[in-house]
Structure 1
Amino acid sequence: MPRQLGDLEDAVMTRVWQWNRPVTVREVLEDLQQERSIAYTTVMTVMDNLHQKGWVRREVDGRAYRYTAVSTRAAYAAALMNEAWSKSDNPAAALVAFFGMMSPEQRRSLEDAVRMARADRPEGDGAEDGPGEEGAREGPPGEDRPGERQAEGADGTAEAGR
């Protein structure tokens, strides 16, 4: 299961996801420096850590690397929600509480998403089984899928916070 990104990891990944193209450390640094004072080596280390954890892939471009996201922000958010839901002692109660916190607009968006998900599934594929179906979603690194690096690390960057 994925670990929540730390504050700086999230700031870097936000740019990688938003720009949706291969990016260099320098590009990310220059954008981050509009908000905070940060060193090139710090951004380089964070991007290397994200690569080691499987969040980004990189390719050599001259003397620099270009980094690309391995999965989408939506897949990352979905995996975090699924992880929180599945860790609950009473998943149904957790979902009811979650729905209770939603605004009417968020509930409508969720209802629309459920309708789209049901429409995308062929009949008789187990759609009635509900959330948690393995293989039915794209997920970020760290999910238990063959050939993918686990998103783990003890570098202290997986703190909560946004």
Structure 2
Amino acid sequence: MAKRRGSGDLESEVLAALWAADAPMTAGDLLDALDLDLAYNTVQTILARLHAKGAVRRQLNGRSHAYTPVLDDAGLAANRMRAMLDRGGDHAAVLTRFLGTLTAEEQATLAGLLHDEHSEKRDG
């Protein structure tokens, strides 16, 4: 039995194919490019989700839509993180727990980014 991929994995694969393309792609184009055992409707669903998240733009191309990437994997991950914070609850508790999952190197990177952002706001 084949291992089931998560929707985030499929979204990343679709985004990678869109970024590698020279032109907007339809669901059919992506189905061919991905060379995975996926149904056409699955690709359409992934594209609809990516569009709803603002990760891709779509334009009418005949009777179907052609898609162009807006976000890369990092942008998509940032949107997911923002969505989790926007769900409400105790932001400090969520951020504290998130920090607890980071390695020392990741914490140093985050601290540096926050320092740079604070410096830009102060100087600008």
TM-score normalized by the length of structure 1: 0.51
SS in 2 for 1:78: helix
After superposition, the CA RMSD in angstroms is: 3.6
Q: Per-residue deviation at 1:108? A: 1.6
Q: Per-residue deviation at 1:63? A: 8.6
Unaligned residue ranges in structure 1 (runs of 5+): 126-162
Partners of 1:9 and 1:46 within 8 A in 2 = no
Unaligned residue ranges in structure 2 (runs of 5+): 1-5
Find the counterpart in structure 2 of residue 46 from structure 1: 45
Q: For the structure 1 residues 110 and 72, does the alpha-carbon distance in structure 2 shift closer, same or farther, using more than 3 Å as the test? A: same
CA deviation map 1:107-139 (0-9, x unaligned): 12211221232233245x8xxxxxxxxxxxxxx
Find the counterpart in structure 1 of residue 3 from structure 2: none
Find the counterpart in structure 1 of residue 57 from structure 2: 57
Q: For the structure 1 residues 121 and 20, does the alpha-carbon distance in structure 2 shift closer, same or farther, using more than 3 Å as the test? A: farther
Find the counterpart in structure 1 of residue 7 from structure 2: 6
Mapped partners of 1:88, 1:62: distance in 2 = 41
Find the counterpart in structure 1 of residue 83 from structure 2: 83
The alignment status of 1:32 with 2:34, answered yes or no, reads yes
Mapped partners of 1:94, 1:78: distance in 2 = 15
Mapped partners of 1:119, 1:20: distance in 2 = 38
Find the counterpart in structure 2 of residue 136 from structure 1: none
The alignment status of 1:106 with 2:97, answered yes or no, reads no
Percent identity reads 22
Aligned residues: 116
Q: Per-residue deviation at 1:15? A: 2.9
Bigger relative contact order (CA 8 A; separation at least 6) = 1
Partners of 1:21 and 1:68 within 8 A in 2 = no
Higher helix share: 2
Counterpart of 1:45, as a letter, is Q
TM-score normalized by the length of structure 2: 0.62
Find the counterpart in structure 2 of residue 131 from structure 1: none
